[in-house]
Amino acid sequence: MKSDVQVAVIGGGIVGSAMLYWLAKMGWTDSVLLERRELTSGSTWHSAGNTTHFGPYPAMTRLFAGSIRSYLKAEEESGQSVSFHQTGSLRLASTERELSLFHSYKARYAELGIPYHVRTLEEVQALHPLLVTDGIFGAAHTPGDGHVDPVGATNALAQAARKIGASVERQCPVGEIHREDGHWIIETTKGTVCARNVVVATSFWAREMLKPLGLNLPLYATQHQELITETIPTLKAMDREVPAWRCSYVSCSVRQEAKGVLAGVYESEPKFWALDGIPNDFKEDLFPPEIDRIMPHLERLIERMPSFGEVGIKVINNGPMCWTPDGLPMLGPLPGYDGLWLATGFNVGIGTGGGSAEFLAHWMTKGKPPFDLGIVHADRFSNDMTTEAALEAIRRVYAIGYELPDNI
């Protein structure tokens, strides 16, 4: 294992692997990724793998687009398939207000060169014949969207980084981290690493990892449930995949999975996990399903897509998801901690991880961000924020689901 490096990236999920990849691509090949178990063994492995260009914040749209580009570049360079399915996606307008907002986004997408359309009900029905369009007013359509295999994408990034000189250390838990003589000293089970820079990409583990440094990061985990159905006959008979879809009324993200569908639910009240600390024995674990907690949303899903209720559920994944008080990731340096960088707090790690890593790697190697994105800067939260205040803020953000803000 390298003992003296330019950068040590801690965390081997999609974000950490993307950081290693982009740092190496930008010339910092003297980098090592430290992963306590295997790549993706935190929360990446049970992700739905959704990739989209749609988002209410214009600046974040660049991160969405950059993520899809990152995974496809890594696939080409590594030879490891990311299994990208370009199905496109629909954001259904549950109100006339939402439809008006969708129209207002056209200029932004045109400026970014991203295909974007506002579809009529007839067009929505043609794109996704299983949807009932009663009660909706149209939809935003981003045809470049789709989904990847989270494990394949993570490994493609790591393999591509290794090809140009970076290294990966698996089964390498990190212990104490401290600053000494202008370097970061990282104690691991495989030995000591001396790094000029450290990137912490450990999701909700970052809160406990950096607490000994006097940092109080408002990173908390909620339980998030995803369901996969048995085969739906209508989908089986089709010769194409239908677009993914989301809407504020249902508060679900729904996409095709083989010949069934995968639905991820955002209930109105989140269930927090491990507020007193992540258990030491937590590995690639899932929680027991709690179907009753999301039943109101499933009933609305069936209302919008009746075929969902006509087949059985074959898989229910209930796993941890990381949240910050405003629902956005924490990217960048922290004042007073030279060489310490955060790439954490993602609740849509696949969706924004690749683009976020490219953004942060540019900041690190060039000395400034490639574009203004202050809404995700790591130092935007007070170090004095209480747990109660952070959880209350997360509750508000989580309850919003797929509702869109007026001011973007």
- What are the DSSP calls for 111-126, one per residue? HHT---EEE-HHHHHH
Q: Environment class of residue 212 by beta-carbon count within 10 Å: exposed (0-12), middle (13-18) or buried (19+)? A: exposed
- Could you tell me where in the chain the CATH 3.50.50.60 domains are found? 4-81+149-219+325-392
Residue 56 pLDDT: 66
Residue 374 pLDDT: 94
C-alpha to C-alpha distance for 51 and 306, rounded to whole angstroms: 25
Residue 52 pLDDT: 93
Q: What is the pLDDT of residues 298-313, one digit of tens each?
A: 999 999 999 999 999 9
| Torsion over CA: 267, 357, 156, 113 (sign) | positive
C-alpha to C-alpha distance for 340 and 346, rounded to whole angstroms: 18
- Could you tell me where in the chain the CATH 3.30.9.10 domains are found? 89-143+221-323
89-143+221-323: CATH architecture: 2-Layer Sandwich (3.30)
Residue 407 pLDDT: 53
Evaluate whether 201 touches 344 at the Cβ level (below 8 Å): yes
C-alpha to C-alpha distance for 193 and 212, rounded to whole angstroms: 18
The DSSP string of 152-195 is: HHHHHHHHHHHHTT-EEE-S--EEEEEEETTEEEEEETTEEEEE
Tell me 252's DSSP state.
E
Percent of the chain with pLDDT over 70: 99
Residues in the chain: 408
Q: What is the pLDDT of residues 236-262, one digit of tens each?
A: 999 999 999 999 999 999 999 999 999
Residue 399 pLDDT: 81
4-81+149-219+325-392: CATH architecture: 3-Layer(bba) Sandwich (3.50)
Q: What is the pLDDT of residues 4-45, one digit of tens each?
A: 999 999 999 999 999 999 999 999 999 999 999 999 988 888
Torsion of CA 252, 257, 260, 266, to 10 degrees: -10
What integer best gives the mean pLDDT of the chain? 94
Residue 406 pLDDT: 66
In this prediction, the residues of the chain whose per-residue pLDDT falls under 50 are: 408
